[in-house]
Chain A
């Protein structure tokens, strides 16, 4: 068992990435994510990896995609405004099925906003920020230890499904130092390699699980990669049926394996009358609030998705069937709450505890929100 160490959330992200096999980092400085780059530049060269500070966030993710096609596990990290600039290439990576990991350490917005204050304002951007229909895997850790685990998982999912994976956490988790014990060994997934001879290789023919093998550039397989709608040979097409089949496969390869992707943490929901739905840093406040509410005799519970997208509709629906009320707490003016409403489909009352002023949501505030007043109203 490893020893406990005091590390920052951004540092845990670096450690998780390197443990998962990340060997390329291309990034651009932005608060509050810069520590990831500053750690990477010190650690990657000794591992034979590559670090480069690019000219902007657009180029950062482009370099990551280039490196990934060269066979490297690759990532970048940024924050809100930079994440906006990366949207173009998140879409490109989704369409071309290039594995990569993008960390967004969220800060207050819109625009330059509140650079050193926490936020959860990018939840919908992470899902819908790039144009067109595409799948998205978005993970939201709520502690330093979980940042490590989620980063490993992000790389594994990216390789497993040949897709960009986004890690969303906020300034507080990024900059908080916690004592963590990192695992001695972790499971590492690598992208599937083709079994066909190079002459017979068509890059976009997918096996039953919907994920085509991906050889590295330079390994003897010559193929075309394009963000245009393409056929199984990887060549651009305007054929509506081919385009539809492609977009359908991009979704299905993930939708058919939700059990591998979705992770939801629940706490004391079995007999709960009210469940708090919270993720990321708010999930920790919510857990404390639920414990204190239980001490006060209130039947409260917690549902905390680690996987924000694909949204855990089934898991939320189950909780909604059990409780009277779901209180959605997020550091924005209401983003994921709409998905909770869709999942609950009227089976529970949905309330929001929302703030977007750069201040964290405290346990006390949440406890107050889940404690009924004299009239029994919350």
Chain B
């Protein structure tokens, strides 16, 4: 196994993310998956939008495109179609992918473009200072929901299953080995693969909702898990988790996997007429 740091732009480190932000854990797990699959570093392109999660692509030594807010799946679509030999991975956040970029995400899924989307869901807008996102649980506090969120939240995986994504999975940032395995599966999947990673935002979500810092948030997400139990779910390494504040559980693991035709461009007119 290669040291994952060989995939980092070490000169750019340390990264900009806050202490305890699990996005870096997710990145490490992803790099392990890349290493496992022995993907050619020159042939991997990572495309991101705007937000905390999207900043990750600046630190990896691949071809990296830090685009505009929500539009990463559209950039990735052009990139992949023009250069099919590239492995294209989108890194996006919950606000990026599900609010401003919802349209692009569902259409990339519908087309079954052969890309992998990692959605790092921290349930809040981190980069802009803790505003409510489409994933903020009802009742949760954010800077724009000071008395508790009154909107229902998206279940990203259900949304993507509805949009026709041929591979849909959910993993927890608290389970790095699970993450790597599912990410490797997603990267290997022919067609559109979507992986929602339950990540954290200790700086805003954790603070506003009194969940705590990075360690507490990792435990918090573990007890939300109703599916594959990770090692951390059993460990209870952090005390004083306000269990009553834990939202209803969510299923983890690979939730949908089907093989259907990968988008391969338009049909030629003569092929249609003949």
Q: A: which residues have CB within 8 A of B?
A: 23-24, 26, 41-42, 45-46, 50-52, 54-56, 58-60, 62-72, 74, 88-89, 92, 216-228, 233, 235-236
**Distance in Å from the Cβ of A1 to the closest Cβ of chain B?**
29
Q: Is the CB of A225 within 8 A of B103?
A: no
**Distance in Å from the Cβ of B101 to the closest Cβ of chain A?**
9
Docked complex: B71-89 residues within 8 A CB-CB of A: 71, 73-83, 85-86
Q: Is the CB of B75 within 8 A of A52?
A: no
The interface-forming segment of B62-70, B176-184, B190-198, B221-229 is B62-70
Q: Is the CB of A63 within 8 A of B78?
A: yes
Q: B: which residues have CB within 8 A of A?
A: 9, 11-12, 41-43, 45, 47, 57-58, 61-68, 71, 73-83, 85-86, 103-104, 107, 265-269
Q: Is the CB of B57 within 8 A of A224?
A: yes
Chain B residues near A55 (CB-CB < 8 A): 74, 103-104, 107
Q: Is the CB of A222 within 8 A of B78?
A: no
**Distance in Å from the Cβ of B273 to the closest Cβ of chain A?**
11
Chain B residues near A50 (CB-CB < 8 A): 81-82, 265
Chain A residues near B58 (CB-CB < 8 A): 224, 226, 235-236
Task: Output the nearest chain B residue to A42 by Cβ-Cβ distance.
Answer: B269
Chain B residues near A217 (CB-CB < 8 A): 45, 63, 65, 79, 83, 86
Given A45-B265, A45-B268, A235-B58, residue A66 in contact with residue B66 (CB < 8 A): no
Q: Is the CB of B81 within 8 A of A67?
A: yes
Q: Is the CB of A70 within 8 A of B74?
A: no
Cβ-defined partner of A67 (8 Å) among B11, B42, B78, B107: B78
> What's the Cα separation between A88 and B50 when bound, in Å?
13
Q: Is the CB of A51 within 8 A of B265?
A: yes
**Distance in Å from the Cβ of B4 to the closest Cβ of chain A?**
16
Secondary structure class of chain A's binding surface, majority of residues: mixed
Q: Is the CB of B71 within 8 A of A58?
A: yes
Q: Is the CB of B77 within 8 A of A63?
A: yes
Contacts A50-B81, A222-B62, A225-B65 aside, 6 further interface pairs with beta carbons under 8 A come to A52-B266, A55-B107, A67-B81, A224-B57, A235-B9, A235-B58
A-B contact pairs, 16 of them (CB 8 A): A26-B78, A50-B81, A52-B266, A63-B75, A69-B65, A72-B82, A74-B78, A88-B71, A92-B68, A218-B43, A218-B85, A222-B42, A224-B64, A225-B66, A226-B66, A227-B67
Q: Is the CB of B266 within 8 A of A224?
A: no
Cβ-defined partner of A227 (8 Å) among B47, B66, B266: B66
**Distance in Å from the Cβ of A3 to the closest Cβ of chain B?**
23
**Distance in Å from the Cβ of B53 to the closest Cβ of chain A?**
15
**Distance in Å from the Cβ of A71 to the closest Cβ of chain B?**
7
Q: Is the CB of B81 within 8 A of A52?
A: yes
Q: Is the CB of B66 within 8 A of A62?
A: no
Q: Is the CB of B75 within 8 A of A41?
A: no
> What's the Cα separation between A148 and B64 when bound, in Å?
35
Chain A residues near B64 (CB-CB < 8 A): 222-225
Chain B residues near A236 (CB-CB < 8 A): 58, 66
Q: Is the CB of A88 within 8 A of B268?
A: no
Q: Is the CB of B74 within 8 A of A62?
A: yes
**Distance in Å from the Cβ of A37 to the closest Cβ of chain B?**
11
